[in-house]
Amino acid sequence: MNDTNTPRPADAVMVDVQNQPDTRRIKIDKVGVKDIRYPITVMDKSREAQNTVASVNMYVDLPHHYKGTHMSRFIEVLSRHRNSISTRNIPAILLDIKERLNAASAHLELSFPYFIEKTAPVSGAVSLMEYNCTLFGRQDDQGADLTVGVTVPITTLCPCSKEISKFGAHNQRGNVQVVVRYNKFFWMEDLIRLVEQSCSSEVFSLLKRSDEKFVTETAYENPMFVEDVVREVAVKLLADDTFTWFSIAAENFESIHNHSAYAYIEHTR
């Protein structure tokens, strides 16, 4: 009869199945862990640091002769860096992933809500506005490739509707997603502000009646199609040599149609 409480010999070796050979000779481009919900600290322009929760994807390549990768090592790397995640240290995290898993390439994707304190334009009421941010990184023997994305809610007022109507014009809320590749440090707050200055009106979490009047009239005096929005954002990005590549996608959730309006620009400097 076996005693299940009998300890294993101290020198017992557990088989490392991941390191066993695979005979199919097919390389895997990305293998790893996905959709990890994890608390992180990111840099904040006004408050130095901000705590948030990210959805994290981490991958490496896998040579054809290995059966599998070591999934737990991704979490070990993430745990070492969780209090210092920013655009500045993504290359260091990628190198850590690459070296810890003995890989030729490493990939890191982070998506998280980022909050900025906004002040209403007339009443001065203060509230927090949420923006969705993403960090994408890849590291291989040729170096690192990093992109940062922000999704910014906006308001647009239709120029055509204003032109043809005796009074009023239809407006709608939309999203602008900007992804940039860069050659020097920048603040996400500044990129978000750049987008908010490129639409009919920015969006606020809290507005009093005086603010609502101001925002409504501002949008009416600044009608824009989605085409106008992406072009305005592009003009501002092109004026800043920080950004070596960018993509801009604007989507209006139409208020009088059962579809969205969409425009997209991609540019390499």
Contacts of 262 (CB under 8 A, 6+ apart): 226, 249, 250, 251, 252
Inter-residue contact 199 to 224 (CB < 8 Å): yes
Domain count for the chain, please give it. Answer: 1
Look at residue 20 and tell me if it is in a domain.
no
Look at residue 19 and tell me if it is in a domain.
no
Look at residue 45 and tell me if it is in a domain.
yes
Distance CA 218, CA 225 (A): 15
Look at residue 96 and tell me if it is in a domain.
yes
Within 10 A of 198 (CB to CB), how many other CB atoms are there?
A: 25
Look at residue 187 and tell me if it is in a domain.
yes
Look at residue 22 and tell me if it is in a domain.
no
Q: Tokens representing 223?
A: 């009608």
Looking at residue 153, what is its pLDDT? Answer: 98
Range of the domain at 158: 29-268
Amino acid at residue number 198: S
Find the CATH number of the domain harbouring 99: 3.10.270.10
Q: Tokens representing 52?
A: 């948030």
Q: What is the pLDDT of residues 10-28, one digit of tens each?
A: 555 776 656 667 668 899 9
Look at residue 125 and tell me if it is in a domain.
yes
pLDDT by residue for the chain (269 residues), tens only, comes to: 455 555 555 555 776 656 667 668 899 999 999 999 998 888 899 988 899 999 999 999 998 887 878 899 999 999 988 777 777 888 899 999 999 999 999 999 999 999 999 999 999 999 999 999 999 999 998 888 999 999 999 999 999 999 999 999 999 999 999 999 999 999 999 999 999 999 999 999 999 999 999 999 999 999 999 999 999 999 999 999 999 999 999 999 999 999 999 999 999 98
Look at residue 191 and tell me if it is in a domain.
yes
